């Protein structure tokens, strides 16, 4: 898994690529919590992620919940079919705000 964080249009854009699985989800979690900790809107760009397991999804949930408590916007962007099915499995597609493109999210 690789990741990068940049600021765009007043939001922090956290982009991930590769697989977010048991091995990599602790790092993804830390990136996401750090973003939320900066007190800005967070967009999580998953366009490069082909696989995410439950631990990765749990990291998204935790960061999202923390953002909500802080009154911050938190959304997913460009979720591929595979990860989307994992979100649907736990009905989290109904919980997260999901944008098709980054432009939509901004």
Partner 1 sequence: MATSSTDAPTAILVRDLVTHYGDREILHGIDMEVRQGEIMVIMGGSGSGKTTLLRHLLGLEKATSGSVQLLGRELTELDESGIYEVGKKIGVAFQSGALFSSMSVGENVMLPLVEHTRLDRETMEIMMRMKLEIVKLAGFEDLMPAELSGGMIKRAAFARAVVMDPVVLFADEPSAGLDPVVSRSLDELILNLRDALGMTIVVVTHELESAFNIADRITMLDQGNILTIGTVDDVRSSDNVRVQHLLNRCFEEEVLDPDAYLARLVGEGRRA
- The contact set with partner 1 (CB under 8 A) reads 21-22, 25-26, 29, 53-55, 57-59, 61-62, 82, 85-86, 88-92
Specify the DSSP element, H or E, that contains 68.
helix 54-69
CA separation for the pair 18, 1 (Å, rounded): 5
Specify the DSSP element, H or E, that contains 94.
none
**Minimum CB separation from partner 1 for residue 31, in Å?**
13
CA separation for the pair 103, 30 (Å, rounded): 25
**Minimum CB separation from partner 1 for residue 42, in Å?**
18
**Minimum CB separation from partner 1 for residue 9, in Å?**
29
CA separation for the pair 36, 22 (Å, rounded): 22
**Size of the chain, expressed as the number of residues it contains:** 106
**Minimum CB separation from partner 1 for residue 84, in Å?**
9
In this complex, which beta carbon is closest to partner 1, that of residue 8 or of residue 88? 88
In this complex, which beta carbon is closest to partner 1, that of residue 34 or of residue 62? 62
């Amino acid at each position: 898994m690789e990741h990068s964080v940049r600021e765009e249009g007043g939001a922090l854009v956290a982009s991930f690529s590769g697989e977010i699985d048991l091995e990599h989800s602790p790092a993804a979690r830390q990136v996401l919590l750090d973003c939320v900790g900066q007190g800005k809107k967070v967009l999580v760009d998953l366009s490069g992620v082909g696989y995410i397991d439950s631990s990765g999804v749990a990291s998204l949930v935790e960061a999202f919940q923390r953002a909500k408590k802080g009154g911050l916007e938190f959304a997913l962007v460009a979720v591929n079919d595979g990860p989307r099915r994992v979100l649907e499995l736990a009905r989290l597609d109904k919980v997260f705000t999901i944008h098709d493109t980054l432009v939509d999210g901004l």
